[in-house]
């Protein structure tokens, strides 16, 4: 996996916050895969396929792991991408995962995990109608 500097991960954080200009910056500055990662997370199938076709399987696995696929997290661990596996747990509020990211110097990925955590909290279903969410009956 490509190493990302703090500027690229910061732009990813800003893109997660909804600033389209940051997404364009990622594409224009050699980090299209980070742009496609976030698009894939938001359920854009074309972006997920782009990650796979352009040899960014670890970011595709990160998307799957963030959506609850434990096999994807295992794939990341076996592939030596512990920081991405920790990001999955940190983005759901795991204190040990946050501490691991800090201890091993992955503060940029920790910032991404925080933004995903905040984004998920903002977008979770709220209110009365949530009681009628029975999941996808076709899966």
Question: Cβ atoms within 10 A of the Cβ of 102, count?
Answer: 13
The rounded distance, in Å, linking the Cα atoms of 48 and 75 is 16
Give pTM, 2 decimals: 0.86
Q: Over its length of 139 residues, how does the chain's per-residue pLDDT go in tens digits? A: 889 999 999 999 999 999 999 999 999 999 999 999 999 999 889 999 999 999 999 999 999 999 999 999 999 999 999 999 999 999 999 999 999 999 999 999 999 999 999 999 998 755 444 444 554 443 3
Query: Helix or strand or coil: residue 123?
Result: helix
Determine contact, residues 65/76, Cβ cutoff 8 Å: yes
Six token digits for residue 2: 């490509």
CA torsion sign for 90, 96, 98, 103 is negative
């Amino acid at each position: 996996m490509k190493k990302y500097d703090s500027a690229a991960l910061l732009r990813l954080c800003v893109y997660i916050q909804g600033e389209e200009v940051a997404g364009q910056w990622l594409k224009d500055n050699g980090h299209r895969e980070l742009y496609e990662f976030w698009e894939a997370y938001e359920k854009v199938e074309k972006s997920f396929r782009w990650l796979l076709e352009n040899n960014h399987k670890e970011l595709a696995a990160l998307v799957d792991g963030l959506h609850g696929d434990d096999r994807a997290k295992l794939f990341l661990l076996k592939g030596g991408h512990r920081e991405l596996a920790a990001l999955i747990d940190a983005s759901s509020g795991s204190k040990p995962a946050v501490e691991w990211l800090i201890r091993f110097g992955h503060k940029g990925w920790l910032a991404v995990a925080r933004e995903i955590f905040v984004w998920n909290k903002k977008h979770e279903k709220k209110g009365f109608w949530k009681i009628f969410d029975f999941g996808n009956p076709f899966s």
